């Protein structure tokens, strides 16, 4: 039935009028009423039937008059362009074998050859412009749906282009981060120390320590760009500790500045799996970037990278604000999902409407034991009216039928602090302040119920308001001093992207690595392997 529907689409596009197709004994044919009006050659009808099972190819060939574009001398440039870009696929972390280059003959003469080229061109365009995987099928907590361009439209541009290879290449993301990830994947291994340098002896070096083993440690760091200068090369001084911490961040290690066995082993090249782990993270990051290829990030946007535990503002491609953040716990229903939305408002002095999951899981049992428990929360009915606790028999209810909500008034100890940042979404996720500041000192900050707690919320609010007022600090202070819940509309709204990159380039272009805190990358990697992606061979 899908094949028949595709044939209908193809012929309808070709004619510009509705076409009926009937199937008899498994063979599709045009209805007798319209057949006399058709002027299709046998070759055109054969091509229409061959592409009927692929909606993109059916639409493309139906729109170009069922004319082949890869056959004969006229199609030679397009064939060569496709073969060349397929050969470049490993630079995107995609094996060329995915596009069956062995089945693409140098000289194409038959319709079977035409369709072989057409199918692989469409597949390559789909992969580069929206990713190999359907994100939610790899992990249901990835709520991102790739915004793919029209493949028939891209094929049409490919058909008429003077440089058809450029159309294929331009389908991939052109974000600077994607290019940096590609370079880290296929260029020289930036963290690989030349083999002829003496290895650093295994030890634990801290700032202030001294010994001959510090010298090869310095030399190995300097060879990969972490150079320090010291009057005493045997001293593990503050500058060397800082260089070690920078290397650790780049290598995905805890950045404590202490050169212990794991750090020295990776510097010495002993931890062979370290390079594999980094390449795997880069391959996954490239795929994630392809999922976002069709998303308008916005010239100015908020970028929340979950594994990095950071929230930043990017403006004109440059990071202009950064703050530490606390993400959801690594527990079902608490892990922070991935998606993009528009941030529309700041709420100063927010009330906290306790999520129902927290209400029935954490607070209802306490209220059943003692109706005066959690006294900082109001019991609210469906109309928003605050109820007297004496009027509610909490013992009557279960998690399934509890009819009330809990709400905390604006206050100094409100769970949302003094401000929250609203970007309406199905999962009720937002950014917010918190009175619990101690968690921001932790290296791993997966401690919330799913929303993102902001380390410097007032500074973030003022940075976001700076486009609409000359004095954002005063605008925020007036709302705060009112003591009332106040909604400040962002004009214009700001895109916000909740992302999950365990490999991501910093401002210098050096790719940094972060732990797979939710195990989400492991599931994406398994799906990529199932699709034929694996660690790249040397010399890409």
Active site residues: 432, 451
Helix, strand, coil percentages (3-state) for the chain, rounded to 5, are 40, 15, 40
Characterize the bridge pairing of strands 318-328 and 310-315.
Answer: antiparallel
d(C-alpha 287, C-alpha 181), whole Å: 11
Characterize the bridge pairing of strands 446-448 and 318-328.
Answer: parallel
Q: At what angle do helices 55-63 and 151-160 cross, to 10 degrees?
A: 40
d(C-alpha 20, C-alpha 435), whole Å: 67
d(C-alpha 90, C-alpha 95), whole Å: 5
What is the b/e burial string over 13-29, where b = at least 16 CB atoms within 10 angstroms of the residue's CB? Answer: bbeeeebebeeeeeebe
Q: Is 414 exposed, middle or buried (0-12, 13-18, 19+ CB in 10 A)?
A: buried
Q: Is 383 exposed, middle or buried (0-12, 13-18, 19+ CB in 10 A)?
A: exposed
Is the dihedral angle over the CA atoms 89, 95, 98, 104 positive or is it negative? positive
Three-state SS at 234: coil
Q: At what angle do helices 457-465 and 472-481 cross, to 10 degrees?
A: 120
Q: Using H for helix, E for strand and C for coil, what is the string for 280-307?
A: HHHHHHHHHHHHCCCCCCCCEEEEEEHH
425: Cβ contacts below 8 Å, ≥ 6 apart: 339, 341
d(C-alpha 301, C-alpha 320), whole Å: 10
Query: Residue with structure tokens 């972490």?
Result: 226
Q: At what angle do helices 151-160 and 76-87 cross, to 10 degrees?
A: 120
Q: At what angle do helices 2-15 and 42-51 cross, to 10 degrees?
A: 130
The answer to whether 85 touches 125, Cβ cutoff 8 Å, is no
d(C-alpha 103, C-alpha 85), whole Å: 15
Q: Is 65 exposed, middle or buried (0-12, 13-18, 19+ CB in 10 A)?
A: exposed
The answer to whether 325 touches 311, Cβ cutoff 8 Å, is yes
Q: Compute how many other C-beta atoms are within 10 angstroms of the C-beta atom of residue 438.
A: 7
Three-state SS at 347: strand
d(C-alpha 233, C-alpha 230), whole Å: 6
């Amino acid at each position: 039935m899908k094949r028949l529907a595709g044939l209908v689409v193809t012929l309808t596009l070709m004619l510009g009028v509705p076409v009926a197709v009937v199937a008899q004994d498994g063979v599709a044919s045009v209805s007798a009423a319209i057949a006399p009006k058709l002027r299709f050659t046998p070759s055109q009808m054969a091509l229409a039937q061959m592409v009927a099972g692929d909606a993109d190819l059916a639409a493309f060939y139906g729109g170009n008059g069922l004319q082949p574009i890869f056959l004969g001398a006229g199609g030679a440039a397009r064939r060569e362009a496709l073969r060349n870009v397929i050969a470049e696929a490993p630079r995107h972390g995609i094996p060329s074998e995915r596009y069956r280059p062995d089945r693409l003959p140098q000289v194409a003469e038959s319709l079977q050859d035409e369709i072989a080229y057409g199918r692989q061109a469409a597949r390559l365009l789909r992969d580069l412009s929206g990713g190999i995987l359907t994100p939610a099928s790899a992990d249901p907590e990835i709520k991102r749906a790739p915004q793919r361009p029209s493949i028939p439209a891209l094929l049409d541009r490919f058909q008429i282009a003077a440089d058809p290879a450029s159309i294929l290449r331009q389908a991939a993301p052109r974000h600077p981060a994607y290019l940096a990830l590609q370079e880290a994947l296929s260029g020289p291994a930036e963290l690989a120390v030349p083999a002829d340098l003496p290895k650093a002896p295994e030890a634990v070096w801290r700032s202030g320590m001294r010994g001959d083993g510090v010298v090869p440690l310095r030399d190995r760091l300097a060879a990969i760009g972490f150079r320090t200068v010291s009057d005493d090369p045997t001293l593990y001084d503050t500058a060397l500790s800082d260089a070690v911490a920078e290397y650790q961040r780049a290598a995905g290690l805890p950045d404590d500045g202490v050169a212990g066995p794991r750090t020295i082993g990776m510097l010495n090249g002993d931890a062979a799996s370290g390079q594999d782990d980094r390449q795997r993270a880069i391959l996954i990051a490239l795929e994630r970037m392809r999922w976002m290829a069709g998303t308008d990030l916005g010239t100015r946007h908020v970028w929340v990278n979950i594994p990095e535990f950071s929230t930043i503002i990017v403006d004109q491609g440059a990071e202009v604000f950064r703050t530490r953040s606390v993400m959801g716990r690594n527990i079902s229903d608490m892990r922070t999902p991935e998606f993009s939305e528009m941030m529309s408002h700041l709420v100063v002095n927010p009330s906290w409407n306790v999520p129902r999951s927290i209400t029935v899981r954490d607070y209802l049992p306490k209220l059943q034991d003692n109706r005066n428990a959690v006294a900082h929360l109001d019991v609210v009915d469906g109309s928003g009216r605050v109820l007297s606790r004496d009027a509610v028999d909490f013992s009557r209810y279960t998690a399934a039928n509890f009819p009330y909500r809990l709400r905390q008034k604006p206050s100094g100890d409100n769970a949302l602090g003094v401000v929250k940042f609203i970007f309406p979404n199905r999962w009720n996720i937002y950014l917010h302040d918190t009175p619990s500041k101690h968690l921001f000192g932790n290296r791993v900050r997966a401690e919330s119920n799913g929303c993102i707690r902001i380390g410097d919320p007032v500074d973030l609010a003022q940075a976001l308001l700076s486009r609409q007022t000359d004095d954002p600090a005063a605008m925020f202070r007036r709302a705060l001093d009112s003591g009332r819940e106040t909604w400040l509309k962002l004009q214009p709204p700001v895109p916000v992207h909740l992302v999950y990159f365990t490999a991501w380039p910093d401002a210098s272009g050096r790719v940094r690595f972060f732990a797979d805190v939710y195990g989400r990358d492991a599931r994406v990697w398994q799906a990529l392997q199932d699709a034929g992606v694996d660690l790249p061979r040397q010399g890409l």
